[in-house]
Structure 1
Amino acid sequence: MNFTEQFPVLNNYIYLDTAGSGILSQSIQQWRKAHDEQFVQEGSKFRLYQADFLEDVRDHVARFFKAKTENTFLVQNFSIAFNAFLDGLDRSHRFLILQSDYPSVNYPIESRNFKSIEYAELDENLEQNILNKVRSFKPSILTLSLIQYINGIKIDLDFIKKLKQEYPEMLIVADGTQFCGTESFNFEDSGLDVLLSSGYKWMLSGYGNGFMLIKDHVNEHLYQDRIDHALPQEPFLKHKKLLTLCFEPGHLDTLAFGTLKQSILHLEQLGMDVIEKRLHTLSELAKKAFTERGLLTSDVAQRTTHSTIFNLKSDEALIKRMRDAHVLFSPRGAGLRISFHFYNTEQDLEKLLQIIDRA
C-alpha cells in the first residue's frame, strides 16, 4: 500500500519518528479546515451542539478500545489526565513503577507524598522483575508504560492479564501513548484498570487530545474526599458526574477531539488487524537486521517480541549520514531512536540499513 498521497511528508523524508510525533493526513487536514471555516462563519452558534459532538467522539473512542462509554474521558493529553488521576487517590497507596520509565509517568508519582514507592528493573527480564517485586513489596498500584519510549521494550499483555488475576486488588495503571494505535485492544478484557494516552503519536490525531479509560471499580478509589460535596446544579453542568468534572474541567476543543475521531475512522478503515500484522512484520525484520549488526542493547536483543521502536547504537558520523539522507528520527538516551508505523515499508528499512552499512 502506498500512503504518500494521504501523508505528503513521506515524499520528503524517510519518516522514522512516529514515536516522537505522528503525522497528519490530507483528509484530516481538509476536515480541520472545514471545521474552522464553520466556526468562522457561525461564531457561538457553532458551539451550540458541542456537547453532542463530544459525546459522539467519546462513543468512538470507547468502541475503538472496547471500553464503556460512561468510563471514557476525553483529556488534553496523558500528563494532565495522569496528574488529575493521582490527585484523586488517597496518599496511603504503595506504588510499583519501572526504572527509567517515561518522566511523565514516574515524576508525578515520585513528587507526591504517597506512602511508599519501589522500582522494578527494566531489562530483558521485565515481567519476572515485576512479578518478584509485586510478591515482595505488595504494591497497591502498579504503574508503567506499555511500550518504553527510549528502547521500545513492550510489556507482555498476557502477563499483565495473569498478574491481575493473581492480584485482583492491585490497580494496574498504564500509559498507552506509545501503544494505542498499533494493534487491536480490548480494554474491558485486559488486565488493566486504567489506560491513559495522548493522541498525537500512533493514533495520528495531532496535539491537544487524548483519552482515559477506567474500569467500574476504579471509581471507588478516586476523589473520595469529594463524594459528599454537592455537585454543581447549573443547567450546563448538572448532567456531569464527579469524575467528569475532575477529568474534563472547562471547555474541550472540538477541533482537537474531532481530529481524534477522524483518526479513529481512518484506522478502522485500514483495519487494525492489518495494521497490527504490518507492524509485527516490520518489527521482526528490523530487530533481526539490527541484532545482526550489533546495534541493539542486550536487554532488547534478548527479548522474544518487541514493538516497532528501536534505539540504535550510533555516533556522530551515522547521525550526519541519516540527516543528510532526510531520515527523521529522535536522539534518545545513549543512541538514536527510530520507529515504524503502518505507512513505513520494507524499503524504508532497507534504505536505513544501507545508510548504516556505509560505515
Structure 2
Amino acid sequence: MDYKSYFDIPEGISYFNTPGNGLLPKSHHAWRRQREYDFFNPKGDLREQQGPFIDTVKAAFGGMFNCPTANIFAVPNFSFGFNTLMEGLDSSLSCALLHEDYPSLNYPVLYRGFPVEWITVDAAIETNIRAVVATKKPKILLLSIVQYVSGVKIDLDFIKQLRNDFPDLLIIGDATQYLGTEPFDFLASGFDAVGGSGYKWLMAGFGNGYFMVSDRLKAMLYAKAQQMDRPTEAMWSNKTILNTFFEPGHQDTLSHGTLLQSINFFNAIGLENVQAYLNELRDYAYQAFKKHNLLLPIAEQRALKSSVVNLQIPPEWYPQLLELGIRCFPRGGGIRIGLHIYNDKTDIDYLIKSIERIKNEL
C-alpha cells in the first residue's frame, strides 16, 4: 500500500521525526482550511456547537480504542491531562516508575511527593517490573508504553497478565509514542488509565490529547470534590465533576477536530493494516540497522520491536543528516528516528546510504 501518497512530502525529504512530531495527511489540511473558513463566518453556528462537537470527537475516539465516552477526557496534551490526574490522587499512594522515563510522566509524580520505587530499564524490563511490584507492593505502576529515547516497547500481553496477578494494582500508561501504530482495546488492556498527545503517531497536530480512565480510577480521583454538592448553573448541567477538572473552560474545536480527522483516517485505512505495514517495514529496517551496527544493545536483545529507534551514530551528525534531507532528532547518545506509514523501504535505504556517506567524509 502506498500510504506515502496521502501526505505532501517534498522530493528529497525522508521524514523520520514522528517521535518528535508526526506529519498530517493532506486531507487534514483541506479540512482545517474549510473549518477555519466556516468558523470565521458570523452566520455560522460553529461557536455554539463546541460541547456537542467535543462529544463527537470522544465518541469516535472511544469507538476506535474501545472505551466508553464517559471514560474519555479531551485534553490539550498529555502533560496537562497527567498532571490533572495525579493532582486528583492521594499523594500517600506508593508508585513505581521506570528509570529515565519521559520527564512529563516522572516529574509530576516526584514533585507531588508520592513515595516512589524505581524500575531498571533493560532487556528484561518486564521481569524487572514484576519483581518490583511483587516485592515492593506499590499501589500504582506508571510507565510509557514505548520509551521515548531507547524505543523499548512494553509487552502489552504482560500488562494484561500483571493485572490478573495483581488486581489491586493501578496501572497508568503514556501512549503518546504508541497509539496510532496498531489496534488497541482499552477495556481489555489491563490499564486503569491511558493518556497521550495526538501530535505524534496519531498525526493530529498540536493542541489535542486524550485520557481514557477506568471506572475504579475515576471513583478515586478528586474524591472530596465528588462528594460535595456540585454547582447548579446551566453551563455545568452536562458536566461531571471530573469533566470540570480535565476539561475546564473552552475546548479548541479546530485542534480536537483534527484528532477526529485522524480517527476517521485510521478508520478508513484500518489500524490492523497499519500494524501489518509497520511490522514489515520494521523487520526490513532492523535487519539493515543491525547489519551496520546501528542498534542499541537493548534493541538487539529484545524480540519485541517498536517504531522508535535510537541509531548509534554521533548526535553531532545531526546537521549533516538534515542537509541530506533526513528529518530526525538527537536523543540520548544517538540519533532517534521513527518509522510510520509515510516511510517506506526506499527511505531506509537512503538513510543507510546517507549515514555511510557522512562516515566516509569524516
Partner SS for 1:182: coil
- Aligned match of 1:232: 231
In the TM superposition, residue 5 of structure 1 has moved relative to its aligned partner by 4.4
Spell out the pairing of 1:1-359 with structure 2 (5 A cutoff).
1-42=1-42, 45-114=45-114, 116-315=115-314, 318-358=317-357, 359=359
Whether the 8 Å CA contact 2:314–2:333 is kept in 1: the answer is no
**What is the CA–CA distance in structure 1 between the aligned matches of 2:136 and 2:316, rounded to whole Å?**
45
**What is the CA–CA distance in structure 1 between the aligned matches of 2:121 and 2:290, rounded to whole Å?**
19
In the TM superposition, residue 6 of structure 1 has moved relative to its aligned partner by 3.0
Which stretch has the larger CA shift, 247-256 or 43-52?
43-52
Please give the per-residue CA displacement for 1:221-254, whole angstroms capped at 9, x wherever unaligned.
Answer: 1111212222121111122111111110100011
Whether the 8 Å CA contact 2:194–2:213 is kept in 1: the answer is yes
Please give the per-residue CA displacement for 1:122-178, whole angstroms capped at 9, x wherever unaligned.
Answer: 111100010111111100000000000111110000000000100010100000000
Identity %: 37
Whether the 8 Å CA contact 1:177–1:196 is kept in 2: the answer is yes
Whether the 8 Å CA contact 1:124–1:303 is kept in 2: the answer is yes
**What is the CA–CA distance in structure 1 between the aligned matches of 2:44 and 2:137, rounded to whole Å?**
52
**What is the CA–CA distance in structure 2 between the aligned matches of 1:6 and 1:42, rounded to whole Å?**
33
Query: CA 1:96–1:317 in structure 2 vs 1: closer, same or farther (change >3 Å)?
Result: closer
Whether the 8 Å CA contact 1:231–1:238 is kept in 2: the answer is no
In the TM superposition, residue 345 of structure 1 has moved relative to its aligned partner by 0.3
Partner SS for 1:355: helix
**What is the CA–CA distance in structure 2 between the aligned matches of 1:215 and 1:342, rounded to whole Å?**
31
Whether the 8 Å CA contact 1:4–1:10 is kept in 2: the answer is no
Whether the 8 Å CA contact 1:15–1:327 is kept in 2: the answer is yes
Please give the per-residue CA displacement for 1:9-39, whole angstroms capped at 9, x wherever unaligned.
Answer: 3534100011110112221111111111111
TM-score by length of 2: 0.96
Please give the per-residue CA displacement for 1:312-350, whole angstroms capped at 9, x wherever unaligned.
Answer: 111267434422211000110111001110111011111
**What is the CA–CA distance in structure 1 between the aligned matches of 2:38 and 2:222, rounded to whole Å?**
38
**What is the CA–CA distance in structure 2 between the aligned matches of 1:63 and 1:211, rounded to whole Å?**
13
**What is the CA–CA distance in structure 2 between the aligned matches of 1:172 and 1:317, rounded to whole Å?**
38
Partner SS for 1:82: helix
Partner SS for 1:232: coil
Partner SS for 1:67: coil
**What is the CA–CA distance in structure 2 between the aligned matches of 1:316 and 1:88, rounded to whole Å?**
39
Say how many residue pairs are matched: 358
Which stretch has the larger CA shift, 274-283 or 159-168?
274-283
TM-score by length of 1: 0.96
Unaligned runs of 5+ in 2: none
In the TM superposition, residue 97 of structure 1 has moved relative to its aligned partner by 0.5
In the TM superposition, residue 268 of structure 1 has moved relative to its aligned partner by 1.2
Unaligned runs of 5+ in 1: none
Query: CA 1:353–1:44 in structure 2 vs 1: closer, same or farther (change >3 Å)?
Result: same
Whether the 8 Å CA contact 1:309–1:339 is kept in 2: the answer is yes
**What is the CA–CA distance in structure 1 between the aligned matches of 2:3 and 2:185, rounded to whole Å?**
27
Partner SS for 2:231: coil
Which stretch has the larger CA shift, 130-139 or 293-302?
293-302
**What is the CA–CA distance in structure 1 between the aligned matches of 2:83 and 2:49, rounded to whole Å?**
29
In the TM superposition, residue 357 of structure 1 has moved relative to its aligned partner by 2.7
**What is the CA–CA distance in structure 1 between the aligned matches of 2:316 and 2:198, rounded to whole Å?**
34
Whether the 8 Å CA contact 2:315–2:335 is kept in 1: the answer is no
Query: CA 1:10–1:19 in structure 2 vs 1: closer, same or farther (change >3 Å)?
Result: farther
Whether the 8 Å CA contact 1:183–1:276 is kept in 2: the answer is yes
Query: CA 1:173–1:316 in structure 2 vs 1: closer, same or farther (change >3 Å)?
Result: closer
